[in-house]
Copies of this chain bind each other. A is one copy, B any other.
Amino acid sequence: VVQPPVSPRTRHDLDSLTAVALEVFHERGYDATSMEQLAAAANLSKAAFYHHISGKEDLLARGLDRALSALFGVLDEPQATTGAALDRIRHVLRRVIELEDELLAEVTVLLRLRGNSQTERDALEKRRTFDRRVAELIATAQDEGSVRSNIDAHLSARLVIGTATSIVEWYRPGGKLAASRLADEVVALTFNGLTAQGEPQHRPSVSTKRS
């Protein structure tokens, strides 16, 4: 992570500027955002903005660090490190969705990186490490017999994380769909699938409509 050239007394300002910048990156995309737009969003002149940071890549690095620290923190939580692997996977999935609620801008910007700078490439490498850690959990669950053995653990991890992270494209915190309810739905769909459980998959279409 790039260390911004600031003294400790400006730390609080830097944190809030990071939050403002990540909201703008989230809305417009990092590459489409100019320093002028960042300064305007923070109600600062461009000169005052440059007093705090050396450039937008510093703010990107800080925002990505916030998202990645939170994601890796989840993997170290007791519910992710002890107990049945399937329960640990469920916990990680739920927490990823909670983080998308709490840190929507930071996580979304992380998910959209193109690798156009060393800062971006470093963050992409950490994302791949996160995927590998989830794949290890799925492999453990396969050993425990709770996850189907006829699927590739690494591919499954990518698809499951892909499902959980795809929500950033439309989920909005504070809307009518609460994060906890969304987490329930993602876990249910990921764990049990779309099809009716225990029912034949092809009932005649003349069947009566269910309530």
A193 touches B196 (CB 8 A): no
Contacts of A87 in B (CB 8 A): 202
Inter-chain pairs besides A148-B192, A155-B177, A162-B169, 16 sampled, C-beta below 8 Å: A31-B31, A32-B114, A138-B194, A144-B204, A145-B196, A145-B203, A145-B210, A146-B195, A147-B194, A148-B194, A151-B189, A159-B163, A160-B189, A162-B163, A191-B193, A193-B193
Residues of A within 8 A of B (CB): 27-29, 31-32, 84-87, 89, 111-112, 114, 116, 138, 142-149, 151-152, 155-156, 158-163, 165-167, 169-170, 177, 182, 185-186, 188-197, 199, 201-205, 207, 209-211
A144 touches B189 (CB 8 A): no
B207 touches A144 (CB 8 A): yes
User: Who on chain B is nearest to A171 by CB?
Assistant: B158
Q: Which residue of B85, B143, B159, B204 contacts A210 across the interface (Cβ within 8 Å)?
A: B143
Q: Which residue of B167, B190, B196 contacts A194 across the interface (Cβ within 8 Å)?
A: B190
* Known A159-B163, A194-B190; contact A203-B146, beta-carbon cutoff 8 A: yes
Contacts of A202 in B (CB 8 A): 84, 86-87, 146
User: Who on chain B is nearest to A111 by CB?
Assistant: B169
